[in-house]
């Protein structure tokens, strides 16, 4: 099967890979690049566990062909912390127990990072609707929403 | 009092809210779940599934698939050469790979292993299966009728009465007294029929494993499961292997809720690997998860309750008919046990029927059997309260089970917390908050047994005095944190000195699965005892060093101390000091404990919910939700709260929107998250958790399981809220908009 | 399967014309799901997101031209477009989750030809026109004429939609779209209603266009329902008549998302609620 050659930027690093035309960005991240932090909960855009940011926009990596990544800039959960400095959202999720099994957590963190970059002062309702495509079956969302609201307040205070 | 029974004490670490030890890996994407592991030379597995609800498999032609480039193994049932003796293992085998017939839409009929995912998928398309389609039945009431298509003959137990089809394989009965006499004494008797739909656990991580099996019968499995010992034992039993030759390692697990207490495809991965001579990774798609891993049972229920004007219940009966799916063995008996468990009743009788249908084998789902047991009972009690103009909390308090009550399912309760949850509900501001137009408030109680079971823990004191704790139960919601906390508490050391790991099956003895809310209770108990064992050894080492009797040594604050002035004057020896000289005092120091834990301590909850129903569309919105539950002792309150909230959210989904929808053709119509509607973030309000602590007498710290009870009351609590606001009793779940609107219009 | 990313409309048309099994890839939020489920197996996918003229939103002749590769999120980030055509942008804002909206296009929503597509009734009510490019040049087609039935369009071999044109917003007009779903998000419409209406200085409706989604094999233009509003101020009796007419115009079926009876009932309810919003907007109240 002929492969396509793609050059893209992932978490700031120029990355080159070969893939089949029908492989998704999620397939390539997980199976070719060992970036298994993005999860596949459904493969059909329903759960948000594969959330990544492409050129500043939040998308499902399972609904993007890997070939489309050519020349783009992709951010995944693996790029969220700066070395061993956690992003404030990561730190707050730990402190406020905003995860149980944790499988939805990478997607939710990536999604909320993108939210706070666009809207540093979201209401609870805005956070809930922004995250409607990120399913969590463990927590009932309560502690997640609180952690996001709390981080937003902290980050506004620090800015 | 023996030291391992509950003793009231002040805690240093237990009851605080430290950051969990596995947290950083989980917020940075490093944690490895079932599908995140690879092995050199690994192949990708894929499973072909029946498109028919019920069909004879006449023949399977795999030759075209086998001839494809990159395909390394194709298997059918013929490749499972061992036939297990026990009926239950034979069922597991047949469910993993269909034998003579496919019993449900999604039943596995063949599997392949190939060098890439896309080749594996293409190979499935090349397999030709010749089916002889059979009549099917997916509805529980239909399946019981004498002329229903029979899924498997010859499985009916002796206690099943005449007059049903052979799909009815089991019946159970519980109760005491004479309910009919009880009804005579009532001022009002209400009898109603209820139904609940099948719901799926809906864990976000699809089932996945990486398996390797050699011709010598030695194998390894990496798998997301609630019990890797169960996976080992079941795979060995199904394939005729020696359990000791299989080593199973539990990955991080992305939710289970009971759905990962079973084996669905691990034997398939092993057989593929044996045939291909390479490791095989098998990851189910979401569609496969819905179609072929167990949802819980759907049910059809009749409940009758008599009440006096003062609110006392005079008699109660319930009949539960639950789907088992394609194999015998449903959870109807648990429903029959749980239905009236919260109440102190003189006259009560329940029965449960287990019914086979052409659906996937029903699996455990959080407090299996209890939510559908409580829903009709709590609904009828609510209706009696409405019609007799009684307060629903006061009425439940009047009938509440207490210490000494003989439970409807047999035993007599020790200290329990139902009354405490009801009283907490009465005094909570939620109870008196005003309601608006089209809004209603519902309350309901729930019960769950909690389990104990086989448990092993090892606690190693390392040469530098730090502590490594090995336990054998996958950590779904933070249990490693709780174990470290209990070990540190008992040893008197700082929490950061203890690290807990989940050991593989070759490293500890048998452990039961993470189910029945058993882990914090049973593994916690074994952890405390393993710590006590290590302390005993460390006291002996100190005694040896000091040249005194071990009985004359005390352990406190992480150090050995002479017990009193008579023991001699020695400065305390810390765990670090004792560990440092262990090689000179008798060798490495480790404590361990193996037990079949008992005394798990039953659990009760009361839930309160406000809903608003759109009178023109029948849509129900949950406005406010409060959970009152007894936790015994909340080891890590954050994660106890998380269990309360998560269970309530799942119950809300079950009540309002979640359901398995089957077409006329017996195929599942909604095997995806778009049409299997679990609650999304914008559907829910904050869920307020109120933790009550009525110590469990059977645990040294008073701990009870907390994981499951929270899914029991929501179904009825929401039904009661909606019924009250819309002035019509809703008796069928889910309360989806078309059903609610039709009920309100009286059509 | 081949993956191709042409940089001009002509190149895209040539690729499509040459290969009847090729498929256009816009946001991919429908196409990738169907690829994954094995419902389609195209010989090639033609990604249109590298064609500059298809990735922009521009004011054109008092109206708006929305490139066929523009994600719906970008429409909602274009404030002046939201001011002019809130009915269309709020419909685009209902397509799936935040993540879906980062990719999904309204042209893809249209060409996918699902009867339940959210932006389609809104675009139809707005009088939107699709610009179609093909081997024989380009043509403009009213949006309602693109879908012909579930999954079927009137596009010929080699044709693709390059942009959607929303006409200049009439004075004193208001547009709105509402749908009914069982949850608050992440569901496919059980009923969808798009309404655009225009008022005279006395507050009476002079023009109205109403389109219904998810209650027939394709979007339904409810002409009789629109007539019930003309000459009224949209008071309660007028809205009751509107609701009845919309319910009558609906031709739903029973399926996993709702019964026909429920859909018919709710069509009227949602039509009324949509009309209230459109009226308020026409009066400048919302
Ligand atoms: C989780 C999820 C939720 C969803 N929720 C909704 C919802 O709430 N409401 C809703 O309406 N839809 C919903 N959808 C469906 C989908 O997102 C929309 O239909 C979307 O607008 C499709 O646009 P797209 O650009 O992604 O189309 P694509 O997937 O790229 O294309 C769709 C189809 O149209 C063809 N096509 C695309 N562009 C053109 C063109 N310019 N010319 C000719 N043919 C073309 C493609 O070949 C393909 O057949 C949902 C999908 C998912 C995965
Ligand atoms: S895996 Fe991409 S949305 Fe679920
Ligand atoms: S923490 Fe388990 S799915 Fe969210």
Position A1 confidence tier, pLDDT thresholds 50, 70, 90: low
Burial class for B59, CB neighbours closer than 10 Å (0-12, 13-18, 19+)? exposed
| Substitution site in C111, C152, C153 for ligand 1 pocket (most atoms within 8 Å of beta carbon) | C111
Looking at the structure, do residues C251 and C117 belong to the same domain, yes or no? no
The enclosing domain of C207 has a CATH number of 3.30.390.50
Q: How far apart are CA C168 and CA C62, in angstroms?
A: 5
Looking at the structure, do residues B429 and B319 belong to the same domain, yes or no? yes
pLDDT of residue A120: 97
Is B257 in contact with B654 (CB distance < 8 Å)?
no
**Separation of B219 CA from ligand 2 center, angstroms?**
32
Nearest atom (ligand 1) to Cα of C181: 8
Task: For Cα atoms B385, B389, B390, give the angle at the middle one, nearest 5 degrees.
Answer: 55
Q: What HEC string does B224-271 produce?
A: CCCCHHHHHHHHHHHHCCCHHHEEEEECECCCCCCCCCCCCCHHHHHH
Looking at the structure, do residues B625 and B676 belong to the same domain, yes or no? yes
pLDDT at B129 over 60: yes
Among C57, C52, C40, residue whose Cα is nearest residue C112: C40
Is B636 in contact with B485 (CB distance < 8 Å)?
yes
Looking at the structure, do residues B313 and B276 belong to the same domain, yes or no? no
Whether ligand 2 lies within 6 angstroms of the CB of A27 is answered as: no
Looking at the structure, do residues B277 and B316 belong to the same domain, yes or no? no
Residue B241 within a domain: yes
The enclosing domain of B94 has a CATH number of 3.90.1170.50
Rounded mean pLDDT, B419-424: 98
Residues of C whose CB is below 8 A from A22? 1, 35
pTM listed for this prediction? 0.97
DSSP category for residue B523: I
Backbone φ and ψ for B81, nearest 5 degrees, come out as -80, -15
pLDDT, tens digit, for every residue of A49-61? 999 999 999 999 9
Reduce the DSSP state of residue B63 to 3 states and report it.
helix
Position B4 confidence tier, pLDDT thresholds 50, 70, 90: low
Backbone φ and ψ for B276, nearest 5 degrees, come out as -85, -20
Nearest atom (ligand 3) to Cα of A137: 3
Q: Closest Cα to atom 9, ligand 1: which residue?
A: C95
- pLDDT, mean over chain B: 96
Nearest atom (ligand 3) to Cα of B254: 2
Which H or E element spans position C211? Answer: strand C205-213
Q: How far apart are CA B384 and CA B635, in angstroms?
A: 39
Calculate the CA B539 to chain-centre distance: 40
Looking at the structure, do residues B590 and B475 belong to the same domain, yes or no? yes
Rounded mean pLDDT, C137-142: 98
Q: Closest Cα to atom 15, ligand 1: which residue?
A: C30
Task: Please state, as a whole number, how many other Cβ atoms lie within 10 Å of the Cβ of residue B486.
Answer: 30
Q: Do B616 and C188 touch (CB under 8 A)?
A: no
Residue B193 within a domain: no
pLDDT at B725 over 60: yes
Looking at the structure, do residues B346 and B410 belong to the same domain, yes or no? yes
Looking at the structure, do residues B640 and B705 belong to the same domain, yes or no? yes
**Separation of C146 CA from ligand 1 center, angstroms?**
14
Is B201 in contact with B186 (CB distance < 8 Å)?
no
Looking at the structure, do residues B567 and B686 belong to the same domain, yes or no? no
Looking at the structure, do residues C136 and C266 belong to the same domain, yes or no? no
Q: Which residue of A has its CA nearest to C97?
A: A133
Residues of B whose CB is below 8 A from A42? 286, 672-673
Burial class for C34, CB neighbours closer than 10 Å (0-12, 13-18, 19+)? middle
Is B137 in contact with B357 (CB distance < 8 Å)?
yes
Tell me if chain A has a CB within 8 Å of the CB of C49.
yes
State how many domains chain C has: 2
pLDDT of residue B473: 94
Looking at the structure, do residues B108 and B248 belong to the same domain, yes or no? yes
Looking at the structure, do residues B382 and B413 belong to the same domain, yes or no? yes
Q: Which residue of C has its CA nearest to A57?
A: C102
List A residues 95-134 in contact with C (Cβ-Cβ < 8 A): 111, 115, 129-134
Looking at the structure, do residues C178 and C193 belong to the same domain, yes or no? yes
Minimum-distance CB partner of C187 among B121, B661, B677: B677
Q: Do B35 and A109 touch (CB under 8 A)?
A: no
**Separation of A144 CA from ligand 3 center, angstroms?**
10
Rounded mean pLDDT, A84-104: 97
What is the least distance, in Å, from the CA of B40 to any CA of chain A?
Answer: 13
Cis preceding-peptide flag for C88 (omega within 30 of 0): no
Minimum-distance CB partner of C97 among A43, A48, A54: A48
Looking at the structure, do residues C73 and C102 belong to the same domain, yes or no? yes
Rounded mean pLDDT, B473-481: 89
Is B15 in contact with B481 (CB distance < 8 Å)?
no
Tokens of B472: 């054998």
Backbone φ and ψ for C172, nearest 5 degrees, come out as 55, 35
Is C68 in contact with C26 (CB distance < 8 Å)?
yes
pLDDT, tens digit, for every residue of C17-72? 999 999 999 999 999 999 999 999 999 999 999 999 999 999 999 999 999 999 99
pLDDT of residue B2: 45
Q: Which residue of B has its CA nearest to A133?
A: B680
Q: Closest Cα to atom 3, ligand 2: which residue?
A: A45
Among B595, B600, B334, B604, residue whose Cα is nearest residue B451: B600
pLDDT, tens digit, for every residue of B190-218? 999 999 999 999 999 999 999 999 999 99
Q: How far apart are CA B88 and CA B104, in angstroms?
A: 18
Q: Which residue of B has its CA nearest to A36?
A: B36
Q: How far apart are CA C164 and CA C124, in angstroms?
A: 11
Residue B166 within a domain: no
The arrangement of strands across the sheet holding C63-67 comes to C57-60, C63-67, C160-166, C129-134, C137-142
Whether ligand 3 lies within 6 angstroms of the CB of B87 is answered as: no
Is B500 in contact with B487 (CB distance < 8 Å)?
yes
Looking at the structure, do residues C146 and C252 belong to the same domain, yes or no? no
Rounded mean pLDDT, B574-586: 97
Give the domain range for residue B692: 299-450+601-744
Backbone φ and ψ for B218, nearest 5 degrees, come out as -95, 135
Looking at the structure, do residues C140 and C179 belong to the same domain, yes or no? no
Looking at the structure, do residues C143 and C213 belong to the same domain, yes or no? no
Q: How far apart are CA C158 and CA C22, in angstroms?
A: 9
Q: How far apart are CA C167 and CA B143, in angstroms?
A: 59
pLDDT of residue B1: 34
Residues 6+ apart with CB under 8 A from B592: B456, B457, B458, B459, B530, B533
Which chains does A contact via 3+ CB–CB distances below 8 A? B, C
Looking at the structure, do residues C142 and C37 belong to the same domain, yes or no? yes
pLDDT, tens digit, for every residue of B76-114? 999 999 999 999 999 999 999 999 999 999 999 999 999
Residues of B whose CB is below 8 A from A44? 286, 672-674
Domain boundary among C166, C201, C224: C166
The enclosing domain of B457 has a CATH number of 3.30.365.10
Looking at the structure, do residues B265 and B370 belong to the same domain, yes or no? no
Position B329 confidence tier, pLDDT thresholds 50, 70, 90: confident
- Cβ density class B319-328: b for 16+ within 10 Å, e for less: bbbbbbbbbb
Helices marked H in chain C — which ranges? 9-18, 31-37, 72-76, 79-84, 86-92, 98-101, 106-111, 119-125, 223-229, 236-249, 260-282
Tell me if chain B has a CB within 8 Å of the CB of A18.
no
Minimum-distance CB partner of A45 among C3, C29, C73: C29
pLDDT of residue B181: 98
Residues of C whose CB is below 8 A from B618? 262
DSSP category for residue C137: E
Q: Do B657 and C183 touch (CB under 8 A)?
A: yes
The enclosing domain of C120 has a CATH number of 3.30.465.10
**Separation of A47 CA from ligand 2 center, angstroms?**
5
Domain boundary among C144, C166, C188: C166
Give the domain range for residue C59: 2-48+55-166
Is B534 in contact with B525 (CB distance < 8 Å)?
no
Tokens of A96: 């406020």
Minimum-distance CB partner of A135 among B24, B206, B678: B678
Looking at the structure, do residues C218 and C127 belong to the same domain, yes or no? no
Domain boundary among C102, C131, C166: C166
Q: Do A133 and C100 touch (CB under 8 A)?
A: yes
Tell me if chain C has a CB within 8 Å of the CB of A71.
no
DSSP category for residue C96: S
Residues of B whose CB is below 8 A from A31? 117
State how many domains chain B has: 3
What is the DSSP annotation of A16-52?
A: EEEE-TT-BHHHIIIIIS--TTS--S-SSSSS-TTEE
Task: From residue B492, give the alpha-carbon distance in Å to each of B484, B526, B659.
Answer: 12, 17, 49
pLDDT, tens digit, for every residue of B133-171? 999 999 999 999 999 999 999 999 999 999 999 999 999
| Substitution site in A27, A28, A31, A60 for ligand 2 pocket (most atoms within 8 Å of beta carbon) | A60
Of the ligands numbered here, which is closest to the C-alpha atom of C158?
A: 1
pLDDT at B18 over 80: yes
Q: Which residue of A has its CA nearest to C77?
A: A118
pLDDT of residue B599: 85
Task: Please state, as a whole number, how many other Cβ atoms lie within 10 Å of the Cβ of residue B462.
Answer: 17
Minimum-distance CB partner of A97 among B286, B639, B648: B639
| Domains assigned to chain A | 3-79 (3.10.20.30), 88-158 (1.10.150.120)
Residue B6 within a domain: no
Q: Do A137 and B29 touch (CB under 8 A)?
A: no
Among B678, C76, C101, B32, residue whose Cα is nearest residue A60: C101
**Separation of C68 CA from ligand 1 center, angstroms?**
11
Tell me if chain A has a CB within 8 Å of the CB of C36.
yes
Domain boundary among B574, B597, B620: B597
Residues of C whose CB is below 8 A from B290? none
Residue scoring higher pLDDT (C100 or B7)? C100
Looking at the structure, do residues B110 and B243 belong to the same domain, yes or no? yes
**Separation of C160 CA from ligand 1 center, angstroms?**
14
Burial class for A69, CB neighbours closer than 10 Å (0-12, 13-18, 19+)? buried
Q: Do A58 and C99 touch (CB under 8 A)?
A: yes
Looking at the structure, do residues C123 and C236 belong to the same domain, yes or no? no
């Amino acid at each position: 099967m002929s492969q396509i050659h793609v050059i893209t930027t992932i978490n700031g690093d120029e990355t080159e890979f070969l893939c089949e035309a029908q492989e998704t960005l999620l397939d390539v991240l997980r199976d070719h690049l060992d970036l298994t932090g993005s999860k596949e909960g459904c493969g059909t855009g329903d759960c948000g566990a594969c959330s990544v940011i492409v050129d500043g926009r939040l998308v499902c990596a399972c609904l993007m062909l890997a070939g489309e990544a050519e020349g783009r800039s992709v951010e995944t959960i693996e790029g969220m912390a700066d070395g061993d400095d956690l992003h404030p959202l990561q730190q707050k999720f730990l402190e406020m127990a905003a995860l149980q099994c944790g499988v939805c957590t990478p997607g939710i963190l990536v999604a909320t990072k993108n939210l706070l970059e666009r809207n540093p002062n979201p209401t609870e309702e805005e956070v809930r609707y922004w995250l409607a495509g990120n399913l969590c079956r463990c927590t009932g969302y309560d502690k997640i929403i609180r952690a996001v609201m709390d981080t937003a307040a902290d980050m506004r205070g620090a800015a | 009092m023996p030291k391992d029974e509950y003793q009231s004490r002040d805690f240093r670490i237990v009851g605080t809210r430290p950051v969990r030890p596995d947290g950083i890996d989980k917020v940075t994407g490093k944690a490895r779940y079932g599908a995140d592991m690879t092995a050199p030379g690994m192949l990708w597995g894929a499973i072909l599934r029946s498109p028919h609800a019920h069909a004879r498999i006449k023949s399977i032609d795999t030759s075209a698939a086998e001839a494809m480039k990159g395909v390394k193994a194709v298997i059918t049932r013929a490749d499972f050469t061992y036939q297990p003796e026990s009926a239950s293992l034979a069922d597991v085998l047949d469910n993993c790979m269909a034998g003579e017939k496919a019993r449900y839409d999604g039943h596995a009929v063949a599997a392949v292993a190939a060098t890439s995912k896309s080749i594996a998928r293409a190979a499935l398309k090349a397999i030709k299966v010749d089916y002889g389609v059979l009549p099917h039945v997916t509805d529980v009431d239909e399946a019981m009728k004498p002329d229903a298509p029979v899924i498997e003959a010859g499985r009916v137990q002796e206690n099943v009465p005449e007059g049903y089809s052979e799909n009815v394989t089991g019946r159970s009965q519980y109760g005491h007294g004479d309910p009919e006499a009880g009804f005579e004494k009532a001022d009002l008797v209400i009898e109603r029929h209820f139904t609940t739909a099948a719901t799926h656990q809906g864990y976000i991580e699809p089932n996945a494993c990486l398996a390797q099996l050699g011709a010598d019968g030695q194998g390894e499995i990496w798998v997301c499961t609630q019990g890797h010992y169960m996976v080992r034992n079941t795979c060995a039993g199904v394939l005729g292997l020696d359990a000791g030759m299989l080593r199973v390692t539990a990955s991080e697990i992305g939710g289970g809720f009971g759905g990962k207490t079973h084996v669905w495809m691990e034997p398939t991965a092993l057989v593929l690997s044996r045939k291909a001579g390479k490791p095989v990774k098998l990851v189910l798609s979401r569609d496969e998860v819905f179609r072929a891993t167990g949802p819980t049972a759907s049910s059809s229920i009749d409940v009758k309750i008599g009440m006096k004007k003062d609110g006392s219940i005079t008699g109660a009966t319930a009949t539960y008919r639950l789907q088992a799916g394609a194999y015998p063995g449903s959870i109807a008996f648990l429903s029959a046990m749980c239905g009236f468990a919260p109440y102190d009743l003189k006259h009560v009788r329940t029965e449960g029927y287990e019914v086979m249908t052409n659906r996937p084998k029903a699996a455990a789902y959080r407090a299996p059997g209890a939510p559908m047991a409580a829903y009709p009972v709590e609904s009828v009690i609510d209706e009696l309260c409405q019609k007799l103009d009684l307060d629903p909390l006061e009425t439940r308090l009047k009938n509440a089970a207490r210490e000494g009550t003989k439970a409807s399912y047999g035993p007599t309760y020790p200290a329990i917390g139902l009354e405490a949850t009801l009283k907490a509900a009465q005094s909570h501001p939620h109870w008196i908050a005003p309601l608006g137009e089209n809004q209603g408030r519902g309350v309901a109680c729930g019960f769950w047994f909690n389990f104990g079971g086989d448990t092993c823990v090892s606690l190693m004191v390392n040469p530098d005095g730090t502590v490594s704790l090995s336990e054998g139960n996958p950590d779904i919601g933070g249990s490693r944190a709780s174990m470290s906390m209990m070990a540190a508490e008992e040893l008197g050391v700082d929490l950061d000195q203890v690290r807990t790991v989940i050991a593989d099956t070759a490293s500890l003895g048998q452990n039961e699965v993470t189910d029945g809310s058993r882990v914090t209770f049973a593994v916690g108990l074994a952890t405390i005892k393993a710590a006590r064992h290590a302390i005993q050894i460390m006291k002996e080492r100190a005694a040896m060093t000091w040249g005194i009797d071990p009985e004359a040594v005390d352990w406190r604050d992480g150090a050995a101390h002479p017990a009193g002035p008579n023991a001699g004057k020695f400065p305390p020896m810390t765990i670090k000091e004792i560990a440092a000289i262990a090689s000179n005092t008798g060798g490495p120091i480790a404590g361990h404990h193996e037990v079949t834990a008992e005394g798990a301590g039953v659990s009760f909850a009361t839930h309160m919910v406000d809903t608003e129903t759109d009178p023109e569309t029948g849509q129900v919105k949950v406005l406010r939700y409060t959970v009152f539950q007894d936790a015994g002792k909340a080891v890590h309150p954050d994660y106890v709260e998380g269990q309360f909230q998560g269970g309530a959210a799942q119950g809300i989904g079950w009540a309002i929107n979640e359901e398995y929808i089957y077409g006329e053709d017996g195929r599942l119509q909604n095997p995806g998250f778009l049409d299997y509607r679990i609650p999304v973030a914008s559907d829910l309000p904050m869920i307020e958790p109120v933790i009550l602590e009525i110590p469990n007498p059977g645990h040294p710290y008073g701990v009870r399981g907390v994981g499951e009870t929270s899914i029991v009351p929501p179904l009825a609590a929401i039904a009661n809220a909606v019924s009250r606001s819309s002035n019509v009793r809703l008796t069928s779940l889910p309360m989806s908009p078309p059903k609610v609107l039709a009920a309100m219009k009286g059509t | 399967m081949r993956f191709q990313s042409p940089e001009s409309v002509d190149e895209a048309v040539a690729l499509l014309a040459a290969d009847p099994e090729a498929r256009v890839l816009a946001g991919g939020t429908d196409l990738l799901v169907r690829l994954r489920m094995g419902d389609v197996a195209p010989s090639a996918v033609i990604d249109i997101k590298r064609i500059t003229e298809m990735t922009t939103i521009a004011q054109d002749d008092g109206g708006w031209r929305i490139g066929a590769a523009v994600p719906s999120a970008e429409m909602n980030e274009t404030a002046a477009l939201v001011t002019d055509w809130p009915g269309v942008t709020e419909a685009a804002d209902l397509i799936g989750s935040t993540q879906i909206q980062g990719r999904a296009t309204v042209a893809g929503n249209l060409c996918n030809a699902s009867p339940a597509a959210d932006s389609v009734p809104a675009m139809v009510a707005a009088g939107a026109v699709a610009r179609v490019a093909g081997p024989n040049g380009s043509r403009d087609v009213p949006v309602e004429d693109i879908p012909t039935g579930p999954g079927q369009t009137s596009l010929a071999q080699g044709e693709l939609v390059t942009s959607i044109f929303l006409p200049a917003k009439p004075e004193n007009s208001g547009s709105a779209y509402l749908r009914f779903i069982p949850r608050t998000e992440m569901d496919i419409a059980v009923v969808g209603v798009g309404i655009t209406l225009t008022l005279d200085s006395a507050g009476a409706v002079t023009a109205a266009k109403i389109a219904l989604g998810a209650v027939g094999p394709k979007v339904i233009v409810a002409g009789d329902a629109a007539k019930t509003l003309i000459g009224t101020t949209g008071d309660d009796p007028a809205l009751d008549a509107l609701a009845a007419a919309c319910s009558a115009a609906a031709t739903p079926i029973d399926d996993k998302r709702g019964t026909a009876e429920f859909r018919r009932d709710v069509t009227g309810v949602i039509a009324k609620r949509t009309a209230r919003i459109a009226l308020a907007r026409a009066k400048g109240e919302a």
